Amino acid sequence: MILLWYILIPAVAAPLAWLVSRSRPDLARWVALAGTALPLALVTWQWVSQAGALKAAFVAHGPGAAGLVQGTWLADVHATWIAPLGISFFLAEDGLTLIMLVLTFAMGLLAVLASWRGITARVGFFHFMILWTTAALAGVFLSLDLFLFYFFFEMMLIPMYFVIALWGHERRVYAAIKFFIFTQASGLLMLIAILALYFIHGRATGVYTFDFTQLLGTQMPSGTAFLLMLGFFAAFAVKLPAFPLHTWLPDAHTEAPTAGSVILAGVLIKIGAYGMIRFMVPLFPQAVYDFRTIGMILAVIGIIYGAIMAYAQTDLKRLVAYTSVSHMGFVLLGIFAWNTLALQGVVVQIVCHALSTGALFILVGTLQDRIHTRDMAKMGGLWAVAPRMGGTAMFFALASLGLPGLGNFVAEFLILVGTWQVSRWAAVLGAVGLVVATVYALWMMQRAFQGQETHALRFDDLVPRETAMYAALIAALVVIGFYPQPLIATARQTVTAAQQMTAGSPLSPEAASAAQTMIVDGATADDGQ
């Protein structure tokens, strides 16, 4: 039942925030704070108390995909909803879900905190939207019924649209519509794929169901599977975003208010990664394998192209937005590599990117609130004006370029070392992306914070509320950088289960390592002659 609370608390807090704002606008902030902090506390408590269970589940259900799918949920809710159509209200939670939920509520909380001073218009409605998004996101990560998943997937789109369109910056309506159309169109492709899967499975077995666990392993011609896989890929690749479907993101990020950017970067785009790991690859392992080369090429282009585009920008927020394209390229690369190292790297990357990029967006937001511009040509030398802000920006810039000792490095290293075992060139090019990351991160620091301050800007350095937010994010990144094991251990069961679902396909690590060994043996044999 605890799973319901994760959706219900923010969902109930949402109208409440709107209602109280009619009499006391500021109270809405506190309601929203409670509406995100409470489930965050709840999920953290669950994480801590279930740490043992996570381990035990992994040991007890190690081999055997069936056992993993059925028996290892930390918690689940299974209720019939629209029985005649085989639609059920099926929520379940495992390690990955737990991590995604922590991220959702933490980013929701940050979004509320980051808007404490910046949002003054329609305060109640704003927090209603933020809470609604949070509830829908929790639903997305908890659903294992594909129909329910799609339901929440669409549900989160609407409040996000309003957040951008109503509280955004100069070109907010354009950005909001673009965001909506991209997501909606690709989402429809996924809906078609879901329905096709539903009918194919129903015709073959007589059981018409949207239950993901039952749809696993549905037999179909490889051409059909490939098309259906593309349907899912379209939706998740737009969300992620993967090159060349990324162009909504710079606009949406740039125009969204800080809270919107934080949720977008921190959680919303992670649905792409989550959906691929949870649904796309296990449902269509062979098709994903056939698509692997293209997927990896897109990932590598995304890494390098995104980084160069970040370097090319003059708008600070747009620069940060493009870094997401680059970082999500690593995620895509890791997913297509599909071995333990790479997948664990993806999980760490999901978390660390949320923390570091979320922080950068908040930073840009606080800066924009103070100097009313995002144009780096109008900045420069700000370190001298606000040293604490400068130091904070430096930290997150370094995190962004993958400095060892911070979580992002662990993630990128794991992804690349895993990728190396599948495709050496992809790993090398991904590593080259780290050099370009250095270029944009340092360039950003120079343009905004270093050099001579020539625009006579005077503003306050970080206030305690902001310092506390950044301190928490910095601490989290350093802890993950030096001891990511809790994160890895939490996701291990999910990663193993997902891999076992694809065990029979050439995508499985066993098949890959067998191929690898053959290559190596061949190479040494040649050398010996």
Q: By the criterion CB under 8 A, which residues form the site for other proteins?
A: 243-244, 246-247, 250, 305, 308-309, 311-313, 339-341, 344, 381, 383-384, 394, 398, 403-405, 409-410, 413-414, 416-418, 420-421, 427-428, 431-432, 434-435, 438-439, 442-443, 445-446, 449-453, 482-485, 488, 492, 516, 520, 523-524, 526-528
Collapse the DSSP code of 79 into the 3-class scheme (helix H, G, I; strand E, B; otherwise coil) and give the result.
Answer: strand
Q: How far is the CB of 163 from other proteins (least distance, A)?
A: 22
Question: Which of residues 182 and 212 has its CB atom nearest to other proteins in the complex?
Answer: 182
CB of 388 to other proteins, least distance (A): 8
> Least Å distance between CB 314 and other proteins?
8
> Contact, 142 vs 229, CB < 8 A?
no
How far is it, in rounded angstroms, from Cα 398 to Cα 275? 29
Nearer to other proteins, 214 or 421 (CB): 421
Residue type, 9: I
Among candidate residues 321, 320, 319, 325, the one with its CA nearest the CA of residue 305: 325
Considering the complex, state which of residue 182 and residue 284 has its C-beta at the smaller distance from other proteins.
182
Residue 228 Cβ, how far from other proteins at the closest point, in Å? 24
CB closer to other proteins, 218 vs 421: 421
152 by Cβ neighbours in 10 Å (0-12 / 13-18 / 19+) ranks as: buried
Least CB distance to other proteins at residue 348 (A): 9
- Contact yes or no for 91/4 (Cβ under 8 A): yes
Distance CA 382, CA 59 (A): 53
Single-letter code of the amino acid located at 63:
P
Residue type, 521: D
**Shortest distance, CB of residue 344 to other proteins, whole angstroms?**
5
- Of 67, 57, 154, which is closest to residue 97 (Cα–Cα)? 57
Of 202 and 381, which has the nearer Cβ to other proteins?
Answer: 381
Q: Which residue has the tokens 């925030």?
A: 17
Residue 411: what are its φ and ψ, rounded to 5°? -60, -50
Question: Which tokens is 380 given?
Answer: 């420069």
CB closer to other proteins, 88 vs 419: 419
User: Minimal distance in Å, beta carbon 428 to other proteins?
Assistant: 6
Question: Which of 104/313 has CB closer to other proteins?
Answer: 313
Burial zone of 233 (CB within 10 Å; 0-12 exposed, 13-18 middle, 19+ buried): buried
- What is the C-alpha to C-alpha distance for residues 429 and 447, in angstroms, rounded to an integer? 27
Complex with other proteins: residue 52 or 526, whichever CB lies closer: 526
Q: Where are the alpha helices (H) located in 24-122, listed in sequence order?
A: 25-60, 65-71, 95-114
Task: Quote the least distance from Cβ 508 to other proteins, whole Å.
Answer: 13
CB neighbour class for 163 (10 Å; exposed up to 12, middle 13-18, buried from 19): buried
